[in-house]
Structure 1
Amino acid sequence: MPTALLVLFLLVVVFVVVMLSKTVKIVPQARAAVVERFGKYKATLPAGLNILVPFMDKLRYLIDLREQVVSFPPQPVITEDNLVVSIDTVIYFQVTDPVAATYEIANYIQAIEQLTMTTLRNIVGGMDLEETLTSRDSINSGLRGVLDEATGKWGIRVNRVELKGIDPPPSIKDSMEKQMRADREKRAVILTAEGQRQAAILTAEGSKQSQILNAEGDRESQILRAQADREASILRAQGEGQAIQTVFQAIHDGQPDQSLLAYQYLQMMPKIAEGSANKVWVIPSEITKALEGLGSSIHEIAGIPKDATPRTRVDMGPTEPQLPRSSGDNELSATSKAVQDAIAAAESASQTRATPVDPAPSEGTAGEPPTA
């Protein structure tokens, strides 16, 4: 008896568990359950705990209400210029009506795939290859409009359509690569030419500025060099003038006689005979008379004064070289010159009165005037 009761109890427990499983249904969040009663649509259960009538109500489909992503394999599509390209698409859709998605279409994913293929061939067939490669947005918009309109009655909303890849034939790829390489080389050549042009312009401008600066520098250096040469010539001329005056004054101060001058003539004779081309040379008559004057001081050489004392004292001039003064010192220089001329005239007059003037020699060398 206890065994029969135990079996009965176990049967009751199993029956209760089965009844609970048939009665209580838990639907997850973002899901929708389609319930049928005797094979006919009864209701759509929301998310959460739901109670069904056991053995009468049946949970047929559990629909995912979240946005879903489906990637379709590449499909060959012929463009307007008769080129076959391979295009793969990605569809983003969402079930908005679980009842329509369950009863209006048997397999909505397969239906969306086939509709995408046909629509894509229709859109791309009116474009050439270049337009296809550069018109992804227009293709996406056209696909989305057609799919959304067709899938509306299926309780599906197409949110987005994306072209994941457009692959032209290998030969077309090679041609496109060559064209792209040629375009890049063309741009590189253009940029190189522009760079060389700019470099040539900058080089020419730099050369121009350099030549201008060099010319200005040469002009200033020539001006300074000319001024230096002018001042050097003035100083050299003043120095030579003072040297001549100094020698002339020293000769007069030394009072040379006939013997000294004759000796000077003798010293000049070796210099006259110098040189390999001097085969024949003529002795001036003044040297002969000078030789005669060495033996006797009675005779005098024509053209040489007996008394070597100068009649007039030679002004030695300033000891320092005088450069031309600026225009601002004209008045002062004129006054100083007048004073110096007055002093020189007074000294000359006093020396003339102090020294008697010798008469000119009665005899002289033919062809030479008597020396003062």
Structure 2
Amino acid sequence: MDGGLAGELTGGNAVLIAIALFVIVSIFLGVRIVPQSEKHVVERFGRLRAVLGPGVNFIVPFIDVVRHRISILERQLPNAMQDAITADNVLVKVETSVFYRITEPEKTVYRIRDVDAAIATTVAGIVRSEIGRMELDQVQSNRAQLIEKVREQVAAMVDDWGIEVTRAEVLDVNLDDATRAAMLQQLNAERARRAQVTEAEGKKRAVELNADAELYAAEQQAKAKRVLADAEAYSTGVIAEAIAKNGLEAAQYQVAMRQVEGIEALGKGTGKQTIVVPAAALEALGDAFRMLRGRG
């Protein structure tokens, strides 16, 4: 009897141990701790059962299985180069960079196989399409507008994959050697043209200034002539008024004074000279003195 009892106790302990192990394994399989940077996709019999968020989660052991562990951290695709042709038929090489993160893992794991390749292909197509609507100068000058359009279209197209595009950048737009040489030649020609235009404008301005100076000189000469004419008219008016008041004596006085001034100017000449004074001039000089004394 002792042997049978010992066997029963041994069998009972084995069952208890098996039950304890089953409970421990069940607890281990049923409790899932998800890190903050991840989400877990749970399947039941091959179908989507739930998406576990960060923290402690419970599933049905042996039935529910964590099939996918998805990182929700932001990711960066490797920088990519793609060819594109602008609206004015210029071949350019565009370097792009894309940052994204997975927001709905159930869409990502069941709707797309290679996320990075899919996003890269989508970005390349959108960049080619947008650059094809723009000329080269617009691509260079409206880089911010191009980036915004690419970001909006990429975000709309990858939304069905449970992905959020956080940044999409056009890092550089490069030209091939032939196009770069042609543009350099065009730039040099434009610089030469501007230099010629500047030189022509300078010459035109110099001619205009010279014409203005000549016009100003002519105006000043005309103004001086008008002043002289006004002075002579005033002098003639004064003489006429004197003649009207004093009669013939005033006229004789003026004539005598003119003759005296002429003799004085002749005497101021340089060098040795002989002054011949006509008798009529001497008589006029005497008349002028007499008239001056008479006025005194």
Deviation, structure 1 residue 176: 3.5
Query: In the aligned structure 1, how far is the partner of 2:170 from the partner of 2:119?
Result: 15
- Name 2:133's counterpart in structure 1: 126
Query: In the aligned structure 2, how far is the partner of 1:10 from the partner of 1:166?
Result: 70
- Matched residue count: 190
C-alpha contact (below 8 Å) 1:72/1:113 kept by paired residues = no
Deviation, structure 1 residue 127: 1.8
Greater relative contact order: 1 or 2 (C-alpha under 8 angstroms, separation 6 or more)?
2
| Distance verdict in 2 for CA 1:83–1:50, change over 3 Å | same
Larger % of helix: which? 2
Q: TM-score, normalised by structure 2?
A: 0.53
| Distance verdict in 2 for CA 1:54–1:183, change over 3 Å | same
Specify every segment of 5 or more residues in structure 1 that has no aligned partner in the other structure, as ranges: 195-372
Percentage of pairs with the same residue: 30
1:60 aligns with 2:100: no
| Distance verdict in 2 for CA 1:188–1:104, change over 3 Å | same
- Give 2:115's aligned amino acid: Y
Find the partner of 2:182 among 172, 175, 178. 175
1:309-329: CA deviation from partner (whole Å, max 9, x where unpaired): xxxxxxxxxxxxxxxxxxxxx
Specify every segment of 5 or more residues in structure 2 that has no aligned partner in the other structure, as ranges: 1-5, 203-296
Query: In the aligned structure 1, how far is the partner of 2:120 from the partner of 2:53?
Result: 29
Query: In the aligned structure 2, how far is the partner of 1:10 from the partner of 1:77?
Result: 70
Query: In the aligned structure 2, how far is the partner of 1:39 from the partner of 1:102?
Result: 13
CA-based RMSD of the aligned residues comes to: 3.7
1:151 aligns with 2:152: no
Q: TM-score, normalised by structure 1?
A: 0.43
1:281-292 equivalences under 5 Å are none
Query: In the aligned structure 2, how far is the partner of 1:36 from the partner of 1:159?
Result: 29
Query: In the aligned structure 2, how far is the partner of 1:135 from the partner of 1:71?
Result: 24
- Name 1:27's counterpart in structure 2: 34
1:158-169 equivalences under 5 Å are 158-169=165-176
1:210-263: CA deviation from partner (whole Å, max 9, x where unpaired): xxxxxxxxxxxxxxxxxxxxxxxxxxxxxxxxxxxxxxxxxxxxxxxxxxxxxx
Larger % of strand: which? 2
| Distance verdict in 2 for CA 1:17–1:87, change over 3 Å | farther
Other structure's SS at 2:92 match: strand
- Give 2:158's aligned amino acid: T
1:75-107: CA deviation from partner (whole Å, max 9, x where unpaired): 111222222211121112232222222223333
Find the partner of 1:43 among 47, 50, 55. 50
C-alpha contact (below 8 Å) 2:80/2:97 kept by paired residues = no
